[in-house]
Structure 1
């Protein structure tokens, strides 16, 4: 995800059609001067493809053999037919389609453009509870907004030369993995921990593991897999025992470790270096979270430590 590749398609070159999915069997612009632009982040080590789509309007038929796609329309309207059902989606709504044949119409908004973000998951992976040849509507509006904000940030950084380091994009992809799993998880497939002692033991093991890996681009799914439980089991245990999500606890640990580095700073220590060394790669947002947590900016902590 360290750079952004741009692909452009137009009615002027009708034989040049996009191939986001396994196979494109039909593609047509609505207008004679139609155009389509894909901005794609390079896949990271977890295998996610992230694409920003902008089109004057088109229809297409696709086949996707083994990947799940999650789309967030930003302007205009998306109408997709899959498994005999029509999914009509507008900005503020997201939708996911599992491996299937589908036909889509991307209709422009008042400004003459349809825009969206699409996340295509790794081949052969579907979050628990999903089935092939189906569509799903994520229910967590707040998490959808956070995911869109994260994607806008990732594209902004990828399109700004020298804006960040590859490790930052590993962290972005880890967050995308957590968000996708959270949005697509089926509550009916959740395995919840037993009350009291079992949940407390699981949370204790998770905290020990987080203490060892907090500075890596780790996901909640990674932590759950290491502990031998489902991610939602871990989520439920943290909510029951701590009143917070495991992702919130991981961020708390990172902020506390950052504070220790600033309080006992070496001559070369900066706010940016301290943040990045604990796995926090967006310094602006990190500083806001730090102030909420500790009542001061990280620069103030560093200045006080240096007298």
Structure 2
């Protein structure tokens, strides 16, 4: 199939697989929710458009990931998705959608009472998304950025059209008995880009007149860049605000507006993510106390409590599981 590369990836917990397909840049943690759980990912790669279309079928799983390159549109068809981005929680059910900018997040996929979870996933290179948003801003409108996460109603006509088209793509590329002509591939690529452009133009208008004003978003992104560079240090929010040249109250309001949480909460989430990544990739002689202190946590008991509330297990349990896998 000229212009489109297809792949299928299967994971079965009973076969001892502990990592999902390489859908995202980095996967720091992954587990199936059921003892004999299964995950299947079918992907069509539209190289000319800078996009990938996937259909994910799962009995339920939990994944900690970081995506550096792509903006991700997730459309559950059955079951639900619970995602945590920074300090904000998102719950997306069948028929609705959520858009993620390149970021780190924790996602729990749950199947319905009958059948498996299924979702369509569109991943587009961030550079292409920026180009399309810039096109939408040429009519004198302000330039906007995709927020870290944005829930979108299933009644949105662009979402309905994209969902139907992505389902069609997934059906064709999931069938071994269908051959697709180069002309059909070219038409599909053009249609995908046009539908994506319409969706992003509509998104641009919504973001430009919505609650996420561009100055607050820019302020938060600058602050988070500094946080990531210094999250293992004793970083005060007053010092952070001073470095950005804004007042502390202004910084707090910007984070509440964009992240629905204060800057300290977001910083602690970054530290938790870093600590978990260290625990999941630790050496034989690693210790929880050392890792916690290295990641900027001064109160060890509070660290252990927050870690358990976030990941469903204690830091010691994560470390013990990792050591057993290594052996």
* TM-score relative to the length of structure 1: 0.57
- Map residues 1-307 of structure 1 onto 2, 5 A cutoff: 2=4, 4-11=6-13, 12-127=15-130, 128=133, 129-131=144-146, 133-137=148-152, 141-158=156-173, 159=175, 161-184=177-200, 185-187=203-205
The question of whether the paired residues in 1 share the 8 Å contact of 2:79 and 2:110 is answered with yes
Q: In structure 2, how many angstroms separate the alpha carbons of the residues matched to 1:88 and 1:118?
A: 16
Instruction: Provide the secondary structure at the position in 2 that maps to 1:33.
Output: coil
Residue in 1 that maps onto 2:213: none
Q: Structure 1's 108 and 117: CA in aligned 2 closer, same or farther, altered over 3 A?
A: same
Residue in 2 that maps onto 1:250: none
| Paired residue total | 191
Shift of 1:166: 2.0
Q: Structure 1's 16 and 103: CA in aligned 2 closer, same or farther, altered over 3 A?
A: closer
Q: In structure 1, how many angstroms separate the alpha carbons of the residues matched to 2:152 and 2:187?
A: 26
Instruction: Provide the secondary structure at the position in 1 that maps to 2:128.
Output: coil
Unaligned runs of 5+ in 1: 191-307
Q: In structure 2, how many angstroms separate the alpha carbons of the residues matched to 1:17 and 1:157?
A: 23
Q: In structure 1, how many angstroms separate the alpha carbons of the residues matched to 2:157 and 2:126?
A: 27
Query: Which is richer in helix?
Result: 2
Instruction: Provide the secondary structure at the position in 2 that maps to 1:31.
Output: coil
The question of whether the paired residues in 1 share the 8 Å contact of 2:95 and 2:154 is answered with no
Shift of 1:92: 1.2
Shift of 1:32: 1.0
Unaligned runs of 5+ in 2: 134-143, 209-327
Alpha-carbon displacement from aligned partner over 1:56-83 (angstroms, at most 9, x marks no partner)? 0011111011210001100000111112
